[in-house]
């Protein structure tokens, strides 16, 4: 908790000096149990796979050797917690596909 307030004080001082802040994202949970309910080893692997670029759900499932429906459920949960975002894009000749990307590094 002390690290959080120290980072916020540093950012407030930088803003007071008229400096621009780098865009970022902070995710917090009320208690460790909430974090552990969301961040399982399998979901951490999903986040790692989407670290460098957006991936289609089926490609992500293939890379992780997982069932696409399980990956879809995990992605939905991670998206509700603002850890990833999804977007629908055209898949030429095959309708659309859903891309998954991390919201922050």
What CATH class is the domain 29-102? mainly alpha
- In the structure encoding, which two tokens stand for residue 52, read together? 């460098």
- In the structure encoding, which two tokens stand for residue 24, read together? 């970022």
pTM, 2 dp: 0.62
* CB contact at 8 A, 57 and 68: yes
For the chain, the domains span 29-102
Q: What is the pLDDT along the chain (105 residues), one digit of tens a residue?
A: 677 788 889 989 999 999 998 877 666 777 777 777 777 787 777 777 776 778 888 888 888 888 999 989 988 988 888 888 899 988 888 888 889 888 876
């Amino acid at each position: 908790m002390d690290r959080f307030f120290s980072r916020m004080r540093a950012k407030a001082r930088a803003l007071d000096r008229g400096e621009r802040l780098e865009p970022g994202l902070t995710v917090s949970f009320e208690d460790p149990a909430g974090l552990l309910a969301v961040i399982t080893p399998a979901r951490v692997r999903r986040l790692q796979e989407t670290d460098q670029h957006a991936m289609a759900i089926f490609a992500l499932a293939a890379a992780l050797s997982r069932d696409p429906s399980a990956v879809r459920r995990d992605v939905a949960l991670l998206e509700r917690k603002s850890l990833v975002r999804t977007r629908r894009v055209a898949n030429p000749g095959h309708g659309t596909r859903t891309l998954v990307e991390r919201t922050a590094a």
